[in-house]
Structure 1
Amino acid sequence: MSTPRIVVTGIGATSPLGGTAPDSWSGLLAGESGTHTLTHDWVEQYQLPVTFAAEAKVRPDTVLDRPVAKRLDPASQLAMVAALEAWQDAGSPEVDPDRLGVDFATGIGGVWTLLDAWDTLREKGPRRVMPMTVPMLMPNAAAGNLSLHFNARAYARTVASACASSTESLVNAFEHLRAGLADVVIAGGTESAIHPITLAAFASMQALSRRNDSPETASRPTSIDRDGFVMGEGAGALILETEEHAKARGARIYATMVGGGVTADSYHITANDPEGKGAARAVHMALDVAGASVGDVTHINAHATSTPVGDPNEYQALRAVFGSRVEEIPTSATKAATGHLLGGTGALEAIFTVLALRDRVAPPTINITEQDPEVPFRLSGTPTPLSSGDHLAITNSFGFGGHNAVAAFASV
């Protein structure tokens, strides 16, 4: 029995650039920044050292029906908004519930629900803690609620591997489809963790940019004066299905998912391996599964968080794979525009990668004043046209804990 081909038939996103996938893509191509100064009272109340972030441009509770939104943590709200868009974009496929799966990730989960409940407990006592607190804060809440809403009974699985989470969920969905566990999968990731405790914690470990005077330009991957990442928020969802199932129902196909690789560094709990061995293995795995060579890759969406250490480490990993050709492949570092969505970032960047293949254009990387000679990716401040032929692209995600995940897509 031959291994089925896996295709992308629907996309949905809610991000700092827009409330839908098309709006997010348009904002990215236009060189917009989703980062701004935070206006919440708690920024001044806690005297946070970092006063900006990239919040979702459209609040999810303004999109969802009020009764639905009230029973979901903001992270699950964002997941529902993205998945509803992706499902509709795919044509709302008719599929046997036992053949519909969910692979949906998060890095942190319902942090707002958890900490709001703690405040309620301290201020008002245990009787005032909401009965729905645990179902709202648990990391699998997004996957579980998507399974309930879409009547997905094949499975509903959650990955929590920090910033690699949603790319790993995409790879899992790809493997689950190839293994015959489902015909259609709702895959992606979400995060809503722009909270005083997370901002304070990331700032304490010197991970965040401190450009409070210029938040729009704070995320500057590969720039020689980069000083940390920008916290982002949002969700991305992709409808993946076997090509046979998609063609049988006459679905539009955006791209083919052709491979994925997941590895671990086993090096440090927060720092990635400076030699990039684990990341390089993940790229090789994705290409091996795709039956492709390193010379076939024509576009890269880099993880590129804008941290002083992470960006050059990723370059070293990719140079180990591609050699000096890595400096010739059109590359995009889209966190410059969106900030870092943590567990949701891989899904959003996979959508950007799919749309880059569809439109034959590598999106721009904003905010590079002077590119670091130690990170000489081929980046551009304006969209870079790709040729009209066939293309193969990879998107990288690396997370605390030494997690590496790479997804590969081919044009149609």
Structure 2
Amino acid sequence: MKKTSHETNETMEDKAILVSLITNNLRLSDEEAAYSLHELISLAETAGVTVLDTMSQNKESPDTKWFVGKGKAEELKAKIGELGATTAIFDQELSGAQVRNLEAFLDVKIIDRTQLILDIFAQRARTREGILQVELAQLSYLLPRLSGQGKNLSRLGGGIGTRGPGETKLETDRRHIRDRISELKRQLQEVKRHRTLHRERRKKTGIFQVALVGYTNAGKSTLLKQLTHADVYVENQLFATLDPTSRTMELPSGKEIVLTDTVGFIQNLPHDLIAAFRATLEEVCEADLILHVVDSSAEMRQVQMKVVDQVLAELGAHQERLTLFNKLDLCDPAEVELLSTEGDFLKISAYVAADLDKLKFAVQEKLMGDNKTFRIPAEKGDVISLVYRVGDVLENGLDGDDMLFKVRVNNKEYEKHGYMLAKYDESTIRDKGELVDHEV
């Protein structure tokens, strides 16, 4: 008898028990351990899994065979039978041997945190580049876990709902997988080359690039949408957007910049994923300014901020940053007062127009320097041309044989060429009490 589509969906639905092991070397507080497990629940629900129950265990070190202790594994097996679970999801990364042993003992699909995140990314990828990056990360994760899988091979690689690289790939040998990884790297290298060309063109035109970074669900896409009126997907869920989006934003001065939304970070972001997305994340490294978006309403925002700092350090992104404590509309006044006041920061809500204006002025101030006035002999065409390169000319006029320019200076350009303009800078000359010598 043929099953109806409803019955098929019911059968395929993943029902999971989540398991967390806290070991001495992790040095997590009870609060951090509880938060990590809560985050795993959110990840599972984002992947479309029904969470039936959770289990946790404190142990000196992971069991080499079962990951958790044998007694906890037996307890988990009993709970699986009692609740009718089809999947066990672990909050830490498992070795291939541990996955095989647990699958043989529990007779359900075994997923670890890394594979769960990779699966969510597989669901979210829409562009060709995103799909390539996710497949590379999945295959890099799978390769060391291939040997001796037998009947468990397709189960390991399938992920939630058997999505992923696909069973046809998983049934091939190591050499085939390695060949595919090499091909994906080659294609992504081509993507990187194109990105580099685009960046060089932007630099030649003098367009500033600003990157939005932050923990997943901190409100980056909402900010991009509000600041640029971009038609981007916004949803209150983890990794709602995966593929980076760039839009132009107009500063109060009228100058346009490029604002780029990047993929959200999370605790224990898989290294294979960071490696695969390096071409995309290089946009952060090349940005003139990084806007670190923080969910002010998150209880563990300090942990989230630390995770973002660690990932940026791993990427080698050390540019100037402005921290944006977002979602003030979800905080009470007492919580707002407790927000960190270290470094450069703004407290905003993406839905308050006055806050967005304040942010635009702050970005402009970061990218553009002070206003300066230059007095340049009219015949000095090369120097006058340089003035237009180092900033935005706000006013210009003739005073006798000299041209006067009021300029909002571009900090980066002025660092390169400012020494050539120093003798024409009226404020510098006045401070020194010198007479203007217009001859070079």
Higher RCO (CA 8 Å, separation ≥ 6 residues): 1
Higher helix share: 2
Which of the pair has more CA radius of gyration?
Answer: 2
Structure 2 length-normalised TM:
0.23
